Every structure is written in structure tokens, then in C-alpha cells.
Structure 1
Amino acid sequence: MKLYATLERVLKSESNYHTNLLDNQGDLMLNKIHDLVDKTDENLIGLFLENQELREKFFFKIKDVYVFKTNDFKFYLDENKIDNSYTQYENRIGLTANGKFLKDNSDVVLDFPYKDCVLEGGQSTVEGTDTYFEYDEKDQHYIEKQAKRKEIFFNQVLAKDEIDRLLEPKAFANIKKYTANGEENLSSFERYENGTIKDNLIIKGNNLLALHSLKKEFVGKIKLIYIDPPYNTGNDSFAYNDSFNHSIWLTFMRNRLITSLELLTEDGIIFVQCDDNEQAYLKILLDEIYKRENFLSCIAYRKTDNQANIGNIARVKEYILLYSKSKTITLNKIPLTDKAIKEYRYSDENGKFRRAILLHKTRGTNNYEIITPSGTKLNGPWMVNEKKFEELRNSNGIYWTSGGDEQPYGKIYLENSKGQIPSDWIDKEYGTNQQAAIALEKLLGYRAFDFSKSVPLLKHLIRIGANKNDIILDFHAGSGSTAHAVLELNEEDGGDRKFIMIEQMDYAQNITSNRILKVIENNVKGSFVYLELAKNNQTAIEHIQGCKSYEELVGYFEEMCDKYFLHYNVKVKEFREVICKEENFKKLSLDKQKEMFIKMLDLNQLYVNVSDMEDSRYALSVADIALTKDFYQI
């Protein structure tokens, strides 16, 4: 580590030579160093050349000329657990077009650090921080501490092999089918005539990897996507609180939105719910991925009745951004509301309802005289021409107002109405978040969330964009409101819509799946298959938990290094040669030692690829392997 200390000292001491290499926390921006090395930046290479230790390590001499060993230098950074990604962008977020800032160009895209990287992105609090242990001399034991996580990014050029492997289809485990009768045996997935899986699916696991695992089966087959992602408020599950928090969130969203676009049908649409924290940037990001011309609406939704006196302005709304995949899109009209039905306030002699549309207008070209039933003469201009007016009068298609202001109206019958177009303002008639949480508590029997998404709201959105036999995807499934809405809507209109839910938090089974099972048990027709992305490190965790002694645990460390992925900040050499041999470490209880070993495993990104699933070290069951093959039809 002496060489790295030298390198770090040189870079930090000279960090302002022509461009700042430090982030807001004083740490080196290693992605930027990668970028400058690739550009053979003469200032940076000059710094290395001036230091004897670095010169001997990273240069070779040809006659009187020193040549920088670029690949050796980058390999050294990677081998020392340094972030193996880079970015061409400076440490800032700005609106740019073709490398120029907004003031220089009218075509706007969103440019941000890490934009060209892949962020696997865990969301739980555990995954959002780094855990380490430090010995406290005063208390004479190791104290667990946490630091803000520095996320691993996979660059799409330099780390292509890592990306290809990261995004390979994953094996599934713990596969179960649930119906109104409870858990049932599953021998194969149900399929439509075209071969597409017909089962409703709830998938537990990292949603980026799950989305890529769906591609082979569902590319171009999803009609509607609804997501309610973390809003990056600082208090939600997006727990990356460093100087690149905003950029990380955008990268997180970009990776998933790009894949979602592939899954949609040509006439498919996506709803993305958000609030003021990222709405403006998210809009531009969606403009870039889904194309600005495919933007349909920014719907405002009143999320709460609680106008609490917090801050300067009460925040009672959220946004739902609506995009289509292409121009070949037709949105559905929605059923008439009670308010709209009341507008059909006139009835004929048979009691049929009709809506009256005023034919008289203050502007137009249809100027002619009309004689009312009472003999009053009315002058135009009129909404319809004289021929059309006579057709309506002869067919009893006109309603005449009474009184001194006699006017003609055209009749529209309720049974002929195909509904009304949806509005970009949704008030509380579709429920608030608080009401949704109360309804969920009533269903589950306990308070699962303080806020949840309203089932009536989601039914409204599904009516707008999906037909009775379409597939609906939600890859931020949360408590399962979208699946709940699909089942209830099918019950109401006889539809056969299918849902695919993805949730990576631990409550995917005990809340999300349990909720949908209870909906089905409450006489709502449906069933679903629950499946998890098979984790590689689970085998290591079980082995650690089964160790009977300190010696057995330490003896397993080499196998952990060889077979499994460790957390990227684990100092393997130091742990192997120093910490394991310290008396203070040996004095810890075996349970505490096991806990420390488990936390050295990377819990964020490690799942079993389909290509590896039959390897015995992953210990997947015969049934799970068979069903995984059936899922991918291999």
C-alpha cells in the first residue's frame, strides 16, 4: 500500500494544477483520473514522471525518453479495489448538447457524471452505506461504524466484460405458485399461444438485473409500465448521500428506463411518479430516452389532504410523467364520473339520458334564421349549418330550453357515449396516500406503510393505457398496489390483464406477495408465481453461520476470496495478514466474528447467472434449475 499512498499524496498535493481532482469531501475522483490517463493528459503524466517511485513503477525508458505504461497504471488502480469506471464529464451537473452547455445550443439533453456507466444500485439502508469495524482501546472491543457508500460504476466501454456478465439472465430460486387455495406445486409456467409466459409474476431481487432477465421473454410485449421509484429526498430508500447523490440517482434511473423502453410494445406507455425533488431533471432524462415528441402529459395528483404547516408552501401534490414508446398510440377514454353523468341531465319521453350541447355560437359562418317552437326568431351564426340543423330537428335531435332565453341544444345519449378523455389533474376522488395506507392496513391486519399508492388511482391509470388482455409491469413494486389494481380491475370488467412486479427490498414476500394472496383469498379471481433471483453469496453466508470455531471461520476466508464476491472496500491482504491474527479480534465472540465475515460479502450485486446455475457450488435445487430453464425456454 506504500505505492498507493505515494500516488494519493502526489495527486492530492497537486490537485489544482489545472483541474480539480478532488470531490466535495476531499476524496480523489478516480473516474476522472481514468479519463485523464486515457487522454494522455500531459500535466497528469508529468506529475507521475517527477516522482521517482512512480516513475520506476509506471514508466519504461527508451534511450532518453520515458514512456508511460498506461495499461499497467489502470490495472494497478483496478487491482487495488479502485472504482473500475470512469467518466468523460467534469464534477458537475449541467444541461448540455453535444458537449456544449445550454447557452451554446438549443437542443437540450441531460449531462451528468457517470452518465455512461451502469449502476446496479441497491436501495436498502444497509446497501446504502459501508460498514467497517474499528478497535476501541478504551472499551477494548471492536465498534461497528458506517460510512457513506461510494458506489461501484461499470463503464460501458472499459468494463464491458463486467457489464456483460452483470446483465446476463439470472437463475431463479424459491419459486412458488399461489392461488386462492394457497401454495401449489409448479411444474412449468403457463404460456399464451405465442409462447409468452401467462402467469402473473412477483420477482424479488435487484430490479436492474431482473429487468434484463425479463428481456428474452418479454421484449416488445409489455403494454403499460407504472413505477413509483425512490424520489431522492434524502429520507427515502435511495441512501446515497454523497456529493454525487444527484448524479447517482439519475444514473440509477437512466439504466432502468433504457431497459424499460425495450420491453414495451410499439404502442406501449410508461407512467413515472415523482415529486419536486427530481421532476424537472427526470422530465429531461425521459425526453432523451423516450424522445421528447413522445411526451404525452405531466399529470398532477393530489396525494394528501393534510396541508400541514411545514415549510413555506404545503406540498400536497406529486407528478406522474406519461410517455409513449412511439407515435402509434391511442389512449382509452375513462368511464364517466358521477359529475359527468349529472351533465346528462335531460331525459326524453322514454327516460333515456342525454347531454345537451349548445348549437348557438357567437362566432362562425353559418348565418341563418331559426324559428323556435314558440315562434321566436333567432339569428346566427350557428355551430352547425342549416342542413344539419334541419336533420336534427326532424329526428327529434334538438332540445329547446324554456323561458325567455329559448335556445336549441343537440341531444347526446348516455348509452352512446364512449366515456371521456382523462385530465392532467387528479384530485382526491381517486384516493390519497394516507387512505391507501389505511386500506392496506385493513387488508393485512397491521400497519405496513405510513404511505402507499392508491389502488383507485392505479386502476384509473391502467384504464387509460391498457386493454383487457395486456401485460402491466411495475419494477418498483413496493407494497404491490399495481398488482392489486390489476386484479380488481379484471374483476370489475372481466379482463384478463397480467402483472409483473419486481421488488428488491426484503418485504417482497411478507408484504407484497402476502397482500396479493389476501386479495385473491377475498374472492378476487387470480393467481401468481413468486420467484427470487438466486443469490451467489447465500451459500457463503450459510457456511459462515454453520462454522463451529474461530479456526474454522478463518480457514474459510480463502474460499470466500476464491469463490465469492467480496464487498469492494474489503482490504483482503490486511485482513488476512493482520486483523485475523490480532488477539483483540480473536477475543470477539464467535457470533460477532461471523457477523463481520458476512458483512465482508457484497450483498448488492451478487446473483447466479443462468450459465452458471448448474455449478454445484451454488447449491440450486433441481426444481429451481428446471423451472429456470422453463422460464427461459432452454
Structure 2
Amino acid sequence: MNRLGKMKLELTWHNKDQALIPAAEGKYGYKWVSPKDPRYCETHVLELGDVIEGHKAPKDPKHTYSDRADLEPIADNLLILGESGDVLESLTRIPELSEKYVGQVKCVYIDPPFNTGQAFDHYEDNLEHSIWLTMMRDRLLHIRRLMSADGSIWVHLDDAEVHRMRSLLDEVFGPEKFVAEIIWQKSDSPRSDASEFSSDHDTILVYKRSDAFEVNRLERSAADDVRFTNPDSDPHGPWWDGDPTAPGASTHQGMVYAIQHPMTGELVYPGRGRCWSLGQPEVLEIMRGWAPYKLEDISDADERAARCGLDAKDVRRGVQAIMLAVPPEEARRAAEERYNAGQWPQFILRKGGAGGLGRKAYVSTKGSVPRTLWLNTDVGQNRTAKSEIKALFPNNAAFDTPKPERLLQRIIHIASNPGDTILDVFAGSGTTAAVAHKMGRRWVTCELLEDTFEKFTLPRLKKVVEGQDDGGVTVTSDEKYKQVLKSLNGALNIYPDLKEDKATKDFKKALRAKKEPDTINWLGGGAFQVARLAPACFDFDLDLGLTTLTDAAGDIELLTKSVAAQLGFKLTPKDTIFHGSKGSMRLYVTRNSLTPELATEIAASLGEGERVTIASTSVLDESRQALRQASRGSKVVHIPDDIFQIDGEDAF
């Protein structure tokens, strides 16, 4: 049941109440443990490394630039080597990171392992369903915390798990937060090695964090506007013949009535089940633009009832028709005169004036509403992405299923604005971060496999900030030219004898002259910091049922950071005595034996109203009592016994 006491549909699977930890570092492989197991509960520290910085190149007056090229490059970005679950825990639990990222991520795009049972060159994609679901459930819960109220998550999958992921997203975000299921055409040709069907598409599931989410509309293309014309010289601009009616006749009976045609004199009604799209006073005023009109009761309840799908006795009474106020011939002359003069009313007369009624639909100034079918001609396909990777890394084999930059550009455009934060915890070759950077967004991304990180992710993002990435969305080419040329070449393959025809050559020459110059969108610049997940400081002995320290905990600096992360303290590196703070509580970490004398000495360094938590690997008798006497409210924590407060019976 949910919190309102109502039953809800819930997906169940084996070991759903358990947690997963990596079976080996740097690989896709997991094992079940209790949610209280220290190996699952431990918050891994981020070890911050180099800052990779680039500089924005000056514009060349010989080239054309978009508004995006004027955006100030973002420097506050983070590239992490590490397992996605551990990275997300760090972002949500370490105070310095949680303050920065929790509730601040506007757009999340993840392209997780598809669980297809196949082994790819760059990662293992053969997780068993229940493991895959638990892995994704845990990550989605962390991601949800990171998302802003107006944020959204875009999950990219194929057919293997998309149906289960839809149920899982319903469970984590709520079914009412579902936004769309997008179909991306990833291929434009069949695979001859397919045993049954050749898959042409992937699915992208979109969910919102709350109703505050809003989409950014897409820029209109020439193809979007081809149907808009202006045959009557309308001062409002081009329009097309739209539907003057709307659904809902039975619930909007007052908008179901006859309009007498000004040319033919015939009575025109909305189609069955539909009503006029505007209120009657507005429609009356519009029709008076053609001829004199009036409201009149014509006793047409039976006809109106039929249009509403109701019995005549149930239809609303007293709804008048819009009728001509002058003789039909006089109305026809007035309508013909207006038709020939142009600048017609909003309700138009089709077929030269003798047809039915239409309604002017103008070109939207807000752009195009995103649709759920994304063709590869608009956003690229796998082959496009492989070409982008090959251009960046000619000596490295491309990924099997990379994503084209134009696909991510559309997602990021719809879901965010310049300066917003983008998150991707399955970085792969780094496409999401690369596109986010070029679009003036902040980004955080991580990659599990060190080989992928070193060969692809890190060097690609270096190229982006250094302005050495000329592919993808860096440059926008004339897509109209490309489409026409592609169609022409396709036709010439069917009729090769036309290739040498003079008319064909003249057309190609004219087409090249029409081609618009390329537009440059990115000039380099900005920066990002490289980070790695620190090794674990804590382990768990299954036989003894005890939390233990790893060899990495021998590094006192790492141990201090780890203890601070586990206990929720913010580090205070400039403090000469204490290592962290949380409100008025101070943190002191030591591998030395904590004696009563040392506890008293540490407490003596506290300021007025301050307390201290002393974490030590060795606590001698009477130390806790000595600290309580020296500073009321202070406490001693033994490392590792008191860090996770777990007993042996709860651990696996």
C-alpha cells in the first residue's frame, strides 16, 4: 500500500529486499548482501585529481556562428572513474558534494547495460534480470534525490528490459510522473544476421521529478513549415488549413450547432462527436467577416443530438444556429468580394469558397512540440555515432552501440537550459558530457571501466575543452542540402544513365550554389576535474561477523576522509586541530590509542558551545568517561566497530 492506504501495482523479483555490491573492482559483476552490510553502506571518498582546462578560440569573420558559440564555457564539471552506485552514494552522502548536487540536477540521461546476454568489447552486458533490477533500483533511488523539482530522467534501453524498467520507474517516481516513451531509429538498414526480426529502434523512457517539469520546444525546420502558405496575404503570416472543430461534443453541447455557409447557404455542423473549437460569440464575430450573420433558433435538436451521440431528449435546448442575416444571394456576393480581396477571416472557405469550413493555423512562434518518434535523419543513428568516435580515435575500435551527439543534443535541449546540471553515470565514450559541455551545461559523469575511461572518456572530453573536437554538434551543416542530395543520389543509383545527363549536372551545380554555409556552435574552453573513487577502507568478515579495516585504511588521510563521509562531517582542512565539522560538533580522527589524557586534551581545544566526536582505531578504558566529563555531549567512536552500528546477525 502507498501512504494513502491505497493498493498499488508493484514489480517483484528475487532478493528484492537485498542489496548488491561489486564482486570485483572495475567490472560489471555483483553479489547479494544485506542492506546493512558495511560493504554496501560505506560511502566511498572521491580522490580529486587534475583539472583539465581549455580556452575559447576567437571567432573568424569568414565563418558563420550560432548563438550557442557565444555561451560562456562552463568550468565546474566532474569526470569520475568508479562504479556508478558508489559514485551516486558519494554525490548524495558526502556533505561537500551533497550540498552541491542534491536537488540540483536538471537532466539525467543514462544508457545502462541493456542486459541482452551478449558480451561487448567495452563492457559485460549479461546481468541476470533480478540483479539488473536491483542494480537499477538502487541507482534510481539515488538519482531521484539528486534531481531538481523541475528535473527529468531519460533512460535509454532496447527491448530486453524496457518493459521491466517501465514498471521500476513507476515504482521509484510514480506512474503519474511518466512523460513519454520515445522511439529512436538507431538503424536505417536491416541486419542480415538477425534470426527473426532485425531491430531498427531503441526506446528512451522519460519521467519527471514533479509537475514543475517543462519541455523546451524544438526549433522549427524547413520541413515543419513547408505546409504553411499565405494565399490571402494574411498580415499575421503563413498558415495552413486546420480543423475548426475539437473533440467533446457530449460535454460541450453548447458548441454544437449549425453555421449557414455564406456561399452555398448550406447548414454546416461539426463532425459526429466533435464541437466547434471556439465559443459561439467568437465564431459569430468571425463569420461576420464574410457576410451579415445573426443567431437564430432553427429547431434542430435531433441533428444536434445525433452529432453529440445522445438521444434528442437529452441534448441541451436553446442552442441557436449562426444564420445569414441577409438573403442568400446577397450573402454570396459579400463572401465572394471578401474572398477575392484576401486577408480572410479565421474560419476559411475551402475549395475556392464552395467547400466546407476550415480554420487558419499559424506558424507557432514557440517552436515545435517534441514528438515521440525520432528518425535517424533528424538525430543520427549508431552508424553516425561510430563515425564520430572513429574521427576522434582513428586507432581505436569504436563502441558497438554508441549514441550520436545529435541524439543527446535533442534530449539536453528539451530537458534543460544553459547553466543547468546534466548527469550521466554510465559515461562510456563520454557523449553526454561532451554534448552538455558544447551546449553550455554543467555536467557530472562517471565510467566504471578504467580501459574505457583512459582510451575514450577522458581523452574525448580533453579534446572538447581544448577545442580539438570538430565533429558531432560542434558544426551544424545544411541538413536540407544533405537530404536533397541523398534523395538525388538514391534516384541516380536506380537510373544510372541519368548521372551524366546535362540537366542532372546543372541541377547539382544549382544545388551546391544553394547550400547554406556550415554554422559553428563550439569554440572550445571551460574545464573539468578528474576524480577517482578511493579504495574502500572497510570490509566485513563473514565468519566472525565483524567490520574490519582494509589495507587502504592505513593511509590516515584517506581514513580521515572516509570516517568523515560515513558520519556526515564536512572536512575542515584549514583547521589545525580538528578534521571536520557538523554544526557545533567537531570531528577528530586518529590511529593512535585514545587515552583519557588525550581525550581531555582534545576537548580543551574546543570553542565555546562546541562538542567533539573523536574517532579512533584504539580506545582505552575510561576514555569515553573522560571525554564526557571534559565536554558534555561529546562522544567517542571506535573505528571500525561503531562506524556502521551493525551486528553479526544482520550481515551476509
> Closer, same or farther in 2 for the Cα pair 1:483/1:456, shift >3 Å?
same
2:230 aligns to what? 346
Q: 1:508 matched to which residue of 2? A: 453
The aligned counterpart of 2:337 is: none
Q: Are 2:89 and 1:212 aligned?
A: yes
Contact 2:48 2:529 in 1 (8 A): no
**Structure 1 letter corresponding to 2:444:** I
Return the offset for 1:397: 4.0
Alignment partner of 1:251 is 2:134: yes
Whether contact under 8 Å (1:336, 1:420) holds in the other structure is: yes
User: What does the per-residue CA deviation read over 1:457-507, in whole Å, with 9 as the maximum and x for residues that have no partner?
Assistant: 11222222223332111111111111232234x3xxxxx422211112222
User: 1-side partners of 2:459 and 2:239: how far apart?
Assistant: 46
Instruction: Identify which of 143, 153, 161 aligns with 2:32.
Output: 153
- The one-character-per-residue Cα deviations of 1:421-453 (angstroms, maximum 9, x if unpaired) are 222222223111121111221234344324311
In 1, Cα distance between the equivalents of 2:167 and 2:374?
23
Residue type matched to 1:381 in 2?
A: Y
In structure 2, distance between residues paired with 1:519 and 1:606 = 38
1:381 aligns with 2:269: yes
Three-state SS of the structure 2 residue aligned to 1:111 is: coil
The 1-side partners of 2:219 and 2:143 are apart by: 29
**3-state SS of the aligned residue for 2:212?**
coil
Deviations along 1:4-45, one digit per CA (max 9) or x if unpaired, are: xxxxxxxxxxxxxxxxxxxxxxxxxxxxxxxxxxxxxxxxxx
Distance 1:502 1:174, change over 3 A: same
Of 46, 55, 59, the residue aligned with 1:171 is 46
Give 1:331 deviation, angstroms.
2.6
* TM-score relative to the length of structure 1: 0.57
Secondary structure of the structure 1 residue equivalent to 2:113? coil
Distance 2:541 2:534 in 1: 15
- For 1:258 and 1:199, the matched residues in 2 are separated by 25
Distance 1:110-1:614 versus aligned 2 partners, 3 A rule: closer
Return the offset for 1:602.
Answer: 11
Deviation at 1:378, TM superposition (A): 4.2
Deviations 1:136-167 (A, max 9, x none): xxxxxxxxxxxxx6x4433123x2x4433x22
Q: 1:171 to 1:111 in 2, by over 3 A?
A: same
Cα 1:608–1:380 change in 2 (3 A) is farther
- Which whole-Å CA distance do the structure 2 matches of 1:249 and 1:173 have between them? 30
SS of residue paired to 1:203? strand
> Aligned with 2:366: secondary structure?
coil
Seen in structure 2, the aligned counterparts of structure 1 residues 607 and 403 have a Cα distance that, compared at 3 Å, is farther
More displaced, 254-263 or 198-207?
198-207
Cross-structure match for 1:436: 385
Deviations, residues 90-111 of structure 1 (Å, cap 9, x unaligned): xxxxxxx89xxxxxx9743222
Which residue identity does 1:268 align to in structure 2?
Answer: G
SS class of match (2:16): coil
1:510–1:206 Cα change, 3 Å: same
Q: Is the contact made by 1:366 and 1:380 (CA closer than 8 Å) also made in structure 2?
A: no
Distance 1:288 1:465 in 2: 22
Q: Indicate the SS of the match to 1:377.
A: coil
Partner of 1:529: 528
Instruction: Give the Cα–Cα distance (whole angstroms) in 1 for the partners of residues 132 and 462 of structure 2.
Output: 33
Q: How big is the shift at 1:229? A: 0.3
Cα distance in 2, alignment partners of residues 328 and 609 from structure 1: 42
Tell me which amino acid in the other structure corresponds to 1:293.
E
Give secondary structure in 1 for the equivalent of 2:210. coil
1:471 correspondence with 2:359 = no
**CA distance in structure 1 between the partners assigned to 2:18 and 2:169 by the alignment:** 17
Structure 1 residue 220 displacement after superposition: 0.5
- Residue 510 of structure 2 corresponds to none
Q: State whether structure 2 residue 217 is matched by structure 1 residue 323.
A: no
Aligned partner of 1:127 in structure 2 is: 27
Which segment is superposed worse, 397-406 or 275-284?
397-406
Out of 435, 438, 442, which is 1:498 matched to?
A: 442
| Aligned residue pair count | 412
Please list the CA deviations of residues 561-607 of structure 1 after superposition, one character each: whole Å capped at 9, or x if unmatched. xx9979999xxxxxxxxxxxxxxxxxxxxxxxxxxxxxxx999x999
> How far, CA to CA, are the matches of 1:608 and 1:285 in structure 2?
41
**For the Cα contact (< 8 Å) 1:568–1:602, is it kept in 2?**
no
Residue 291 of structure 1 and its aligned partner are, at CA, apart by: 1.5
CA distance in 1, matches of 2:136, 2:246: 49
1:321-370 C-alpha deviation (Å, 9 max, x unpaired):
11112233333332234432112233553693223323268977443434
CA gap 1:369/1:327 in 2 versus in 1, 3 angstroms: closer
Partner of 1:258: helix, strand, or coil?
A: helix
Q: Is the 8 A contact 1:534 1:608 kept in 2?
A: no
Q: 2:177–2:210: 8 Å Cα contact kept in structure 1?
A: yes
Q: Is the 2:268–2:356 Cα contact (8 Å) retained in structure 1?
A: no
Q: Structure 1 residues 436 and 602, CA, compared in 2 at 3 Å: closer, same or farther?
A: farther
Q: Which has the higher contact order (CA 8 A, sep 6+)?
A: 2
Q: Match of 1:173, SS?
A: strand
Q: Calculate the aligned-residue CA RMSD, in Å.
A: 4.1
- Pick the aligned partner of 1:401 from 350, 359, 371: 350
Deviates most, 348-357 or 321-330: 348-357
Q: Which amino acid aligns with 1:199?
A: D
Q: Within 2, Cα distance between the matches of 1:457 and 1:614?
A: 39
Q: How does 1:590-609 map to 2 (within 5 A)?
A: none
Matched, 1:109 2:58: no
Q: Classify 1:114/1:526 alpha carbon distance in 2 versus 1 (closer, same or farther; 3 Å).
A: farther
Q: Which residue of 2 aligns with 1:425?
A: 373
Query: Once the two structures are aligned, what percentage of the paired residues are identical?
Result: 24
CA distance in 1: counterparts of 2:201 and 2:208, whole angstroms: 23
Higher-Rg structure is: 2
Mapped partners of 2:136, 2:554: distance in 1: 20
Cα pair 2:53 2:525 within 8 Å, conserved = no
Deviation at 1:222, TM superposition (A): 0.5
SS in 1 for 2:118: coil
1:448 matches 2:348: no
Whole-angstrom distance in 2 between the partners of 1:459 and 1:336? 15
SS for the counterpart of 2:50 is strand
Structure 1 alignment gaps of length 5 or more: 1-96, 99-104, 129-148, 183-196, 491-495, 538-562, 570-600, 616-624
Identify which of 454, 459, 463 aligns with 1:518. 463
Aligned partners of 2:210 and 2:132: how far apart in 1?
26
Q: Which runs of 5+ in 2 are unaligned?
A: 58-73, 93-97, 271-275, 290-342, 471-521, 544-549, 564-572, 588-652
Give the alignment partner of residue 413 of structure 1, picking from 351, 357, 362: 362
For 2:456 and 2:86, locate their aligned partners in 1 and report how far apart those are by CA, in whole Å.
Answer: 22
Distance in 1, matches of 2:156 and 2:239, equals: 37
- Cα distance change, pair 530–108 in 1 and its aligned pair in 2 (3 A): same
SS in 2 for 1:110: coil
Moved more, 281-290 or 479-488: 479-488
Check conservation: 1:536, 1:607, Cα contact below 8 A.
no
CA contact (8 A) 2:190 2:199 kept: yes
Deviates more, 1:441-450 or 1:206-215: 441-450
Which residue identity is paired with 1:116?
D
Task: Give CA-to-partner distance per residue, 1:183-234, whole Å, 9 cap, x none.
Answer: xxxxxxxxxxxxxx96122222121121122221211011110100001112
Report if aligned partners of 2:43, 2:562 keep a CA contact under 8 Å in 1. Answer: no
> Cα–Cα, structure 1 residues 176 and 568, in superposed 2: closer, same or farther, change >3 Å?
farther
